[in-house]
Amino acid sequence: MKKILALLAVALAVAACGGIPLRSIPQLISLQGKLLDASPAEFMLAIQADARLTPKPDQVPVLKLAIKPKEPGTFEVIDKSLPMQLIVSPRAVYGLPPPSPDRRWFLYSFSPESQAELAKFQANFKRLRDEQKGKGGGGGSVSIGISQEGVAARDPALANTRWETWLQVSLLDGFFEVWSGTVADLLKGADKAAKS
């Protein structure tokens, strides 16, 4: 019963974060485990935004991953930032809903280099997990984040336009929506995170 209450509390806390759809909470809760076992080639991020948005080639989302020990010095901290690459699509693809005429999908996947880095991160995590189990170790934490503010334009004309972020960890599971709001909401959250 305590476990159910704890999961409910986590779900409500996540739902309280603006822009996260309630239907996505189960996928978000299981994201860490799925990402650590996923094929890097299947991981994709999809952003649906105003068709006037034209990100530059170097303005891409970045997957941020970190493994930190519970007890400092138990093992070396692993901190990675993996840039993604853009695939622009004006129509529905990969099972995503079709955009209206004034919107489009921006699809991102990992380059071969980022895929290799994610595979190394996954292998390091599994090695550390097994080592810590064998030692009855103190454990640690894994954090996963996606920085996407570099894609959003700081253009007042786009500030109140809708922004949707969808994630695919595996082809089998397909895409699910992880956040929606306005460009202004996205940039406000990114600015707040940068200050903390």
Residue 13 has pLDDT above 90, yes or no: no
Residue 130 has pLDDT above 60, yes or no: yes
32-53 pLDDT tens trace:
667 778 899 999 999 999 999 9
The residues spanned by each domain of the chain are 2-195
CA-wise closest residue to 193 among 142, 153, 147: 147
Neighbouring residues of 113: CB distance < 8 A, sequence distance ≥ 6: none
87-107 pLDDT tens trace:
865 555 778 888 899 999 899
Q: What is the pLDDT of residue 31?
A: 62
CA atoms within 13 A on the CB side of 120: 12
Stretch 102-124: mean pLDDT, rounded?
A: 92
Neighbour-count burial for 138-154, b at 16+ CB within 10 Å, e otherwise: eebebeeebbbbebbbe
Q: What is the pLDDT of residue 128?
A: 82
